Homo-oligomer: A and B are copies of this chain.
Amino acid sequence: MEVGFLGLGIMGTAMARNLIKHGFNVTVWNRTPAKCEELVKEGAAHGRNPADIVKKCNITFAMLADPDVALSVVFDENGVLEQITSSKGYVDMSTVDSITSSKISKAVTEKGGRFVEAPVSGSKKPAEDGALVILAAGDKLLYEEVIPAFNAMGKKSFYLGDVGNGAKMKLVVNMIMGSMMTAFSEGLAVADKAGLSQQTLLDILDLGAIGNGMFRLKGPTMLQHSFPPAFPLKHQQKDMRLALALGDEVAQPMPVAAVSNELYKKARSLGLEDHDFSAVYHAVSEKHDATNGIQTNT
């Protein structure tokens, strides 16, 4: 199967490689062309620009950095849109908000093309292992057609209905994740202050019904106040904010998410925005004398 792939960041490179490994004929493009070389050695063709790739391939995947890039790759000169026709399918796997997704969807379908949004759950390691979880929405037939490609990149894909639902579902998942992290941080912090062993707490959690991969993975580094950025705190906080906005839209109160969001803001105010989102633990547990700056001569 002939497919295009736009965007070769950490995620995109791993995903395109899995397509190649599973026998797809992949034509790749990246804004910085050097990043294509490695995959070309592994069997990929190199496209000159997005339009070029769409022209050549009936189905094109994209994994781009953010909404702005996702829009420019479609709408700019030599962009996806120039070559969209009724035989073309475009599958955007970038994490974008539902408004961006809808804009792209509208433009592609107005030219007769088919569109699927398919943000993923999982980061570098699952991308390399072909173990992503894919949250697809949009054109049902196109979704079914690309299932073999999704199976090469992910361990499971879900079809969620209308365009926008992929983005929304991802927000809900990340909101739960973000609140679990703040609850976990509070537990680690109070254990420490109460004189309990934090390592033993991790061991106990891991053996019980609430044990999970995130606690297992991030707990040990959190105890060392080390937060290498797998998922940057500022992105987690943005997702909390957008999930709360979704709740606002549908009048669903979410006080736990709201308070968790304020803790991420607190962490941002402490300069932790580029650390991993587990750095919220630092904001929860901080111990220091804040009486500096208090006037005492009154």
Contacts and interface: CB of A to CB of B under 8 A. Distances in A.
A175 B187 contact: yes
Interface stretch (A18-26, A29-37, A41-49, A192-200): A192-200
Interface stretch (A5-13, A65-73, A85-93, A287-295): A287-295
A241 interface: yes
A122 B189 CA distance: 23
B227 A201 contact: no
Given A201-B173, A270-B289, A256 B252 contact: no
Stoichiometry (number of copies)? 4
Interface of A is mostly: helix
Interface string A136-176: 00000000000000000001101011000100110011011
B290 A270 contact: yes
A279 interface: yes
Interface string A253-271: 1111111111101101111
A282 B291 CA distance: 8
A210 B183 CA distance: 13
Contact of A263 (B177, B193, B253, B279): B253
Interface stretch (A54-62, A99-107, A108-116, A212-220): A212-220
Nearest to A175: B187
Interface residues on A, range: 35 or more
B196 A169 contact: yes
B293 A269 contact: no
B255 A193 contact: no
Contacts of A227: 294
Contacts of A191: 169, 172
Closest 3 CB pairs of A and B: A179-B183, A226-B295, A270-B290
